[in-house]
Structure 1
Amino acid sequence: MKQYKLIACDMDETLLNTDASICQRNITAIKEATARGVYFVPCTGRGFRSIEKILKILDLYNCADQYVISFNGSCITENRNCRSLYWRPLPFALADTLYQFAIKYNLCQHIYTREHVYLRGLTPDEKAFLHGRMSYIITDAADLAFLRHHEEIAKLIITHTDPHVLQHIYEEMKPLLHGIDITFSSNRYLEFLPAHENKGTGLLRLATLLGIDAAQTLAIGDNINDIEMLQAAGLGIGVHNLNPKIRPYCKVITDADNNEGAVGEAIERFILSR
């Protein structure tokens, strides 16, 4: 049977419960896998700093030779001392154009840098969704000049709870998106990323750095921004609560959903039982 050496795992709606906690089944399985020398790599749209609490729960915080793929693939960090192995930000002028577009249409948006998340136009619904997930800084700036000489921009997000509205926004913004890739996530986000950066390229880049064949990687996800990661991995696993649009990209679907230890189930079946 194939031996998997690296697990790339999405965070929200995959590893994390709906309330942003981690169930004991997941914690136990991950710790047993890493004790066997298997890499457990969070592969997330968030930044490294926003998942430090999760790394502590999993005994991966500040560990050498343990890694995080963040910002949907445009950043790879070794956990020990937050050592950067790969980083590619958005072009500043392009990010500023997108930011001002969102202001014009009164849209809630996130601005991610390596260290911080800035929010403009925060809605009560978005505030409730983010509770327990990440810290952020509120801004009402008319442009991104306040970041120009201080922080590079990893990505921007526009938020709306109606996927059809997000699709309409995307269609309207298409003329602005030269040199940018987009993805949808959490059934509420339209994300803007550097071109050709995604969770799949991030997974393959880290596997190459570690000398691991792509066939020996396993990926677990739930939503559209996980598709490239599921395709790149030797085994792509969808959790039971997945977005139906990603089902064709999953070789396996767990019986458990994210609240029932879906990640633990996948690790038990394909790592610990072999």
Structure 2
Amino acid sequence: MLTYKIIACDMDETLLSSDASICRRNIEAIAQAKAQGVKFVPCTGRGFRSVEGVLKTLNLFDEAGQYVIGFNGASITENKGHRSLFWDPIPFDLADRIYRKSASYGLCMHIYTRDTVYISGVTPDEEDFLRGRMAYVPTAEKTLDFLRGKEEVCKLIIMHTDYSRLQEIHAEMKPLLDDITVSFSSNRYIEFMHKGVTKGVALLKLAAMLGVQPEETMAIGDNINDIEMLQAAGLSVGVHNLNPLIRQYCSVVTDATNNDGAVGEAIETFVLK
């Protein structure tokens, strides 16, 4: 059996249970993989600061030689000392144009900077979804002028629970998106990152930094923003509760859902000897 040296793992609806906790099966399997020298790399749409609680639960917090891929691939960070290895924000004026257009829809929006998430128009449903997952700063700003010269923006999000509406918004905004990567996640978000930013590109970049071959990587995910990561990895694993649109990109699908240890099952099957 091929030895996998990096496990790139999505968080929401993959590593995390529906209540944002991590089940014991996942924790134990990750610990055993780490003991064998495997790098367990959360690969998430969130930033490093938003995953510190997860790292503490997994005993990866402030660990040298362990990493997080954040903002769907816009950042790579070594856990020890929060050391930035890669950072690719959206050019500020472009981010501002996209945000202004997004604000015209009157929907909930996220603004991601390196260390802070700002959210405007947060709904009760979105507040419930984010509870236990991510801290944020409310804002009513309709432009990004309040961040100009202070913080770089690496990701913007529009939230709507109707996927067809998100697709309509995507079509309407296409004239602005030549230098932007677009993805969808959690069955509620359309996400905008700088062109070329994907989880898959970041996984291969991290593997190259560590001298790991692409075929020695494993990716675990559940949704559309995981597609490039699944395509890049040597082994692509979908969790049982995956979005059906990504099934074709998965070499295997677990029997377990995110609530019963899908990540643990994948590690037990393909990593632990």
TM-score (norm 1): 0.99
Task: Give 1:143 shift.
Answer: 1.1
Tell me whether 1:16 sits opposite 2:19 in the alignment: no
Map 1:114-193; keep pairs closer than 5 Å.
Answer: 114-193=114-193
CA RMSD, 1 decimal: 0.6
Length, aligned pairs only: 273
Amino acid aligned to 2:249: Y
Q: Find the residue that maps to 2:271 and give its secondary structure.
A: helix
Do 1:109 and 1:158's aligned partners in 2 also have CA atoms closer than 8 Å?
yes
Amino acid aligned to 1:225: N
Do 1:62 and 1:79's aligned partners in 2 also have CA atoms closer than 8 Å?
yes
Q: Find the residue that maps to 2:165 and give its secondary structure.
A: helix
Question: How far apart are the structure 1 equivalents of 2:208 and 2:263?
Answer: 24
Name the counterpart of 1:225. Answer: 225
Q: Find the residue that maps to 1:184 and give its secondary structure.
A: strand
Question: How far apart are the structure 2 equivalents of 1:245 and 1:105?
Answer: 26
Question: How far apart are the structure 1 equivalents of 2:120 and 2:98?
Answer: 13
Q: Find the residue that maps to 1:93 and give its secondary structure.
A: helix
Map 1:244-259; keep pairs closer than 5 Å.
Answer: 244-259=244-259
Task: Give 1:254 shift.
Answer: 0.1
Question: How far apart are the structure 2 equivalents of 1:141 and 1:27?
Answer: 40
Task: Give 1:252 shift.
Answer: 0.5
Question: How far apart are the structure 2 equivalents of 1:253 and 1:103?
Answer: 38
Tell me whether 1:32 sits opposite 2:32 in the alignment: yes
CA deviations over 1:140-190 (Å, ceiling 9, x no partner): 113111111111001000000000000001011011112001000000000
Question: How far apart are the structure 2 equivalents of 1:115 and 1:228?
Answer: 25
Task: Give 1:101 shift.
Answer: 1.2
Name the counterpart of 2:209. Answer: 209
Question: How far apart are the structure 1 equivalents of 2:82 and 2:267?
Answer: 26
Listed as ranges, the gaps of 5+ residues in structure 1 are: none
Question: How far apart are the structure 2 equivalents of 1:122 and 1:97?
Answer: 21
Do 1:102 and 1:108's aligned partners in 2 also have CA atoms closer than 8 Å?
no
Do 1:111 and 1:157's aligned partners in 2 also have CA atoms closer than 8 Å?
yes
Amino acid aligned to 2:184: F
Name the counterpart of 2:82. Answer: 82
Amino acid aligned to 1:132: G
CA deviations over 1:64-122 (Å, ceiling 9, x no partner): 11000001111000000000000010011111111111221201100000100000111
Question: How far apart are the structure 2 equivalents of 1:211 and 1:79?
Answer: 18
Q: Find the residue that maps to 1:122 and give its secondary structure.
A: coil
Tell me whether 1:241 sits opposite 2:241 in the alignment: yes
Map 1:59-78; keep pairs closer than 5 Å.
Answer: 59-78=59-78
Question: How far apart are the structure 2 equivalents of 1:30 and 1:56?
Answer: 13
Listed as ranges, the gaps of 5+ residues in structure 2 are: none
Name the counterpart of 2:42. Answer: 42
Question: How far apart are the structure 1 equivalents of 2:145 and 2:121?
Answer: 18
Q: After the TM superposition, which of the residue ranges 134-143 and 231-240 deviates more from structure 2? A: 134-143
Question: How far apart are the structure 2 equivalents of 1:145 and 1:76?
Answer: 27
Moved over 4 A (4+): none
